[in-house]
Amino acid sequence: MAPGILVNKATSPPALKQGEASKPDLRAMFRDRETLELHSSGGPIDEDSLGWLEPTSKDTSAEQMRERYNRDGYLWVKGVLPKDDVWKMRETYLEYLPGLTERWMQPGKLRRKFGFQDQNTEYIQRMVAAHSEKWYRDFCAHPDLQAFVKHLTGWEDTTLLERSILRPNVPGGGTTQVHYNQILLRAGPPTSITAWVPIGDCAANGGGLLYLEDSVRVGQQLEREFNKAAESLTEAERISAFNETMMSTGYLERDSGKFSKAWNRRWLCADYEAGDIVLHNPFMIHSSAINEEERGVIRFATDLRYVEAGKPFDTRWMKTWVPGDGL
């Protein structure tokens, strides 16, 4: 077997939760890095378009971390959050939305594919309501997260933007298409930092976030072009991620593989573990691949935005997310 990595590390939680298909015979297998296959919603991502994110230890000096963040557009930091707090959050969510896999699936193609009705009102209501629950709010405001962002940035104080989205990506389900975040934060300067927080372990084929290598400059160039094309629009239209110069979804491309070829850059993936976070620049281009984890583990994550307290930012983000909120 080619050099691989053990998926089922001792620190992983033993039990799969309700709604997670179980294939115990595959749990302890080595996954072969050389044959990793990923697909975006638009098709396969070629092997030569894939690479690996560089991890950073949380004990690295703030200066060195800043250098890396500025150089790479991202900083994948190991073990920022206590693992137990992350697993607890996952468990609470899974208990809050109990049920079989079918109950986890949002309306759309996948539900239809499995022969379920293309509506799921209860799921939608509960998954939206979760964002206002105290346990989720407390998780987002975790003191270790805030402290880490302050340490990295040197900001005296940080403001956590209220809008964030819990994303449970079931195996074979939807993905996050190619984008950079400033598209959605245009009513403010590009000074926010995003923390992508996997809630549980997430293997590289488990639908975790992919980052386009060295793509801050690409995002900046695209944003300049979008702004130029939007010159004749009103200010309200210009700041919209869905204005006529953009794709109607607000994304850049559905086919991640095609996008990386067009820009001659690789998608960097990782085996994330509970407790890790990835901080990224508002122009850094990212997407997620289809969750193809062998054991059927749900890819679960949230993404938080921080700005320096007292500085201007996109105030549209100071509200709790609901579907179709225009951002």
Ligand X SMILES: O=C(O)CCC(=O)C(=O)O
Chain residues binding Fe ion by CB under 5 A are 181
Does 153 help bind ligand X (rule: CB under 6 A)?
Answer: no
Taking the least distance from each CB to Fe ion, the nearer of 181 and 256 is: 181
Structural contact between residues 150 and 157, judged by C-beta atoms closer than 8 angstroms? yes
Partner in contact with 186, chosen from Fe ion, ligand X, none, beta carbon below 5 to 8 Å by kind: none
The alpha-helical segments, DSSP class H, found in the chain are 62-72, 83-96, 101-104, 109-113, 121-129, 134-140, 143-153, 216-229, 235-238, 256-263
Tally of CA atoms within 13 A in the half-sphere of 99 that contains its CB: 12
Out of 49, 194, 256, 281, the residue judged to bind ligand X by CB under 6 A: 194
Taking the least distance from each CB to Fe ion, the nearer of 89 and 185 is: 185
Measured CA distances, 192 to 64, 70, 195, 249, 277 (Å)? 20, 13, 10, 22, 16
Site string for ligand X, 107-146 (x = CB under 6 A): ----------------------------------------
Structural contact between residues 75 and 194, judged by C-beta atoms closer than 8 angstroms? no
Measured CA distances, 173 to 58, 114, 144, 176 (Å)? 32, 11, 31, 10
Does 181 help bind ligand X (rule: CB under 6 A)?
Answer: yes
Out of 41, 49, 281, 288, the residue judged to bind ligand X by CB under 6 A: 288
When computed from its CA atoms, the radius of gyration of the chain, rounded to whole angstroms, is 19
Out of 301, 307, 308, 313, the residue judged to bind ligand X by CB under 6 A: 301
Partner in contact with 209, chosen from Fe ion, ligand X, none, beta carbon below 5 to 8 Å by kind: ligand X
Taking the least distance from each CB to ligand X, the nearer of 15 and 171 is: 171
Shortest CB 231 distance to ligand X, Å: 27
Site for ligand X in 207-246 (CB under 6 A): 209
Shortest CB 279 distance to Fe ion, Å: 12
Report the residue closest to ligand X, judged by CB: 303
Taking the least distance from each CB to ligand X, the nearer of 256 and 288 is: 288
Structural contact between residues 179 and 252, judged by C-beta atoms closer than 8 angstroms? yes
70's CB contacts (< 8 A; 6+ apart) are: none
Which residues of the shown chain bind ligand X in the complex (CB under 6 A)? 167, 176, 181, 194, 196, 209, 286, 288, 301, 303
